[in-house]
Amino acid sequence: WNIEGAEVVAMDGPSGVGKSTVAKAVAQRLGLAYLDTGSTYRAATRITLSHGIDVCDEEAILAELTAHDIDYGAEGIEVDGVNVATDVRTPEVTANVSAVSAHPRVREHIVAIQRAWAHRHGDAAVLEGRDIGTVVFPDAGVKVYLTARPEVRALRRAGDTEAANSSVDEIAEKLAARDKADSTRAASPLRAADDAEIIDTSDIDIDEVVGLIVDLADR
Ligand code: DC
């Protein structure tokens, strides 16, 4: 299929930069479908954990993944037709998702699911993740990389349900560990594409970020 993706809006960056909120709003403003690709890796992690598979065992993870259907519907991530949006946000999944998503063949499998999803949406959609502009849709028409200062990101994450019982310091520590794992892995590490627009969201509000990206898309 066409993976040129000229009508794809690729939004990458670490967690806590406001990616999901901004990406959803951009999709709505542009009338495009929205895919949270982190949730596809979270679904793979949940499948791995619920079958008692070692997160280091790429072969076993891949074998189990091929026996399941991961998809993204209007209400979010689904495994075998069942919505698992809440189940993929547990601390256990969050603690293990970097390990599962570091395996190159697991990524290949998941990226194929993401591209097939985009294709079903006419290759015109907003995709949010870590490697959309670099690997999944390197020819995306709009590429944005969101960043924010570490303390701002930790404070934002503290407001999420998955972090309900943790202190901001604990969250900051876990964020730093996950960033490190995600950006130093060999396969498709977290990084800004050379041609991505870099937006620091620390001191500007969501509406302004959304406006900037919609302008980019219009151009
Ligand atoms: O966006 P999130 O925090 O839900 O993502 C969960 C994990 O999935 C993240 O720590 C790294 C991985 N991920 C990835 O490797 N590539 C993506 N495109 C999206 C997420």
Reported as a pLDDT band with limits 50, 70 and 90, residue 219 is: confident
Distance CA 214, CA 219 (A): 9
pLDDT of 109 higher than 90: yes
CA 172 to chain centre: 19
pLDDT single digits (tens) 154-213: 988 887 766 667 888 888 888 888 888 889 999 989 999 999 999 999 999 999 999 999
Strands (E), 48-162: 70-73, 76-79, 82-83, 124-129, 142-147
pTM of the full predicted structure? 0.92
Q: Dihedral (C-alpha) 15, 204, 137, 132: value to the nearest 10 degrees? A: -10
For residue 18, give the nearest of 29, 28, 26 by alpha carbon: 26
Q: Find out whether the beta carbon of 114 lies less than 6 Å from any atom of ligand 1.
A: no
Residue 217: its pLDDT value, please?
93
**Cβ–Cβ under 8 Å, residues 127 and 19:** no
Residue 4: its pLDDT value, please?
60
pLDDT of 81 higher than 50: yes
Angle of CA points 134, 158, 39, to nearest 5°: 40
Best mutation site among 34, 35, 93, 97 for ligand 1, i.e. most ligand atoms within 8 A of its Cβ? 97
Residue 70: its pLDDT value, please?
98
CA distances from 21 to 82, 194, 212 (A): 23, 24, 14
Residue nearest to atom 14 of ligand 1 (CA): 130
pLDDT of 2 higher than 60: no
Q: Find out whether the beta carbon of 185 lies less than 6 Å from any atom of ligand 1.
A: no
Helix (H) or strand (E) run with residue 180 in it: helix 168-184
Distance CA 130, CA 180 (A): 13
Best mutation site among 130, 153, 180 for ligand 1, i.e. most ligand atoms within 8 A of its Cβ? 130
Residue 162: its pLDDT value, please?
67
Residue 158: its pLDDT value, please?
82
Q: Find out whether the beta carbon of 98 lies less than 6 Å from any atom of ligand 1.
A: yes
Atom of ligand 1 at shortest distance to CA of 20? 1
Best mutation site among 8, 182, 183, 188 for ligand 1, i.e. most ligand atoms within 8 A of its Cβ? 182
Residue 15: its pLDDT value, please?
86
**Cβ–Cβ under 8 Å, residues 9 and 133:** no
Task: Give the pLDDT mean for 78-99.
Answer: 96
For residue 182, give the nearest of 17, 6, 2, 9 by alpha carbon: 17
Atom of ligand 1 at shortest distance to CA of 39? 4
Tokens (6 digits) for 55 = 């997160």
Atom of ligand 1 at shortest distance to CA of 114? 18
pLDDT single digits (tens) 53-70: 999 999 999 999 999 999
pLDDT of 1 higher than 60: no
Q: What is the DSSP letter of 196?
A: P
Residue 103: its pLDDT value, please?
97
Reported as a pLDDT band with limits 50, 70 and 90, residue 6 is: confident
Q: Find out whether the beta carbon of 41 lies less than 6 Å from any atom of ligand 1.
A: yes
Distance CA 133, CA 142 (A): 8
Distance CA 143, CA 134 (A): 9
pLDDT of 151 higher than 90: no
Residue with tokens 């991530």, as numbered in its chain: 77
pLDDT of 41 higher than 50: yes
Q: Find out whether the beta carbon of 38 lies less than 6 Å from any atom of ligand 1.
A: yes
Q: Find out whether the beta carbon of 101 lies less than 6 Å from any atom of ligand 1.
A: yes
**Cβ–Cβ under 8 Å, residues 59 and 100:** no
